[in-house]
């Protein structure tokens, strides 16, 4: 069912644009920094949301809080080590985690009220969800690439067949609400960590 919630529906649009754009830009920037020119050739080294958004995926995210952006094309052959895949894949979720941290600090400072405070809450929520969701180890999510990138080559090669079935598995577990079994504990863990880190930062 669509997730409607009055004025929050409008606040989701800029929050989504920011969270998704920085997520994809981080993938592109790290891959480029590791020697891969593909993100530059494909026009992904930009914070222009139009370069990263998939219209259908954005609509799904807006209505259902489940969707997708345009994946950043990379060429691992340019990396000097296998860790390049891990670093590039981590870049997106970790950027969302960092943005959630910054947003939470601003919220705790209680500098704003009204619509701006509500927007910051939505922005925090989307960055938190994107960080956690993308770390689930199911293809084509970043978590799958991180796990297979850390495994020995022979083992990761044996698991490569999951890339074909991953999207279908992901759709099924989302449709039948099984995703919450994995996602909710991860979101709760991230929330606890962010809460603790923001308290430490504000008390420095």
Distance CA 146, CA 90 (A): 7
Which residue in the list 8, 24, 121, 163 is annotated as catalytic?
24
Where is 191: in which H helix or E strand? helix 179-202
Q: SS3 sequence, 152-163?
A: CHHHHHHHHHHH
Please give the helix or strand (H or E) that residue 127 lies within, else none.
helix 114-133
Q: From residue 46, how far is each of 1, 102, 114 by CA, in Å? A: 34, 21, 31
Q: Would you call 8 a catalytic residue per the annotation? A: no
Residues listed for the chain:
204
Vertex 180: Cα angle to 156 and 140 (nearest 5): 30
Catalytic residues: 24
């Amino acid at each position: 069912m669509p997730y409607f919630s009055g004025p929050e529906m409008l606040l989701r649009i800029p929050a989504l644009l920011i969270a998704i754009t920085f997520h994809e830009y981080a993938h592109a920037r790290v891959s480029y920094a590791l020697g891969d020119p593909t993100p530059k050739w494909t026009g992904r080294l930009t914070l222009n949301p139009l370069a990263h958004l998939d219209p259908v995926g954005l609509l799904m995210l807006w209505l259902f809080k489940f969707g997708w952006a345009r994946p950043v094309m990379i060429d691992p052959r340019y990396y000097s080590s296998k860790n390049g895949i891990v670093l590039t894949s981590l870049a997106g979720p970790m950027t969302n985690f960092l943005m959630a941290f910054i947003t939470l600090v601003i919220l705790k400072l209680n500098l704003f009220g009204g619509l701006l405070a509500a927007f910051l809450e939505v922005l925090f929520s989307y960055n938190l969800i994107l960080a956690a969701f993308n770390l689930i180890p199911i293809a084509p999510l970043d978590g799958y690439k991180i796990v297979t990138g850390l495994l020995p080559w022979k083992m990761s090669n044996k698991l490569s067949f999951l890339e074909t079935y991953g999207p279908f598995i992901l759709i099924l577990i989302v449709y039948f609400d099984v995703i919450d079994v994995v996602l909710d504990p991860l979101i709760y863990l991230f929330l606890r960590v962010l809460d603790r880190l923001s308290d430490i930062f504000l008390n420095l």
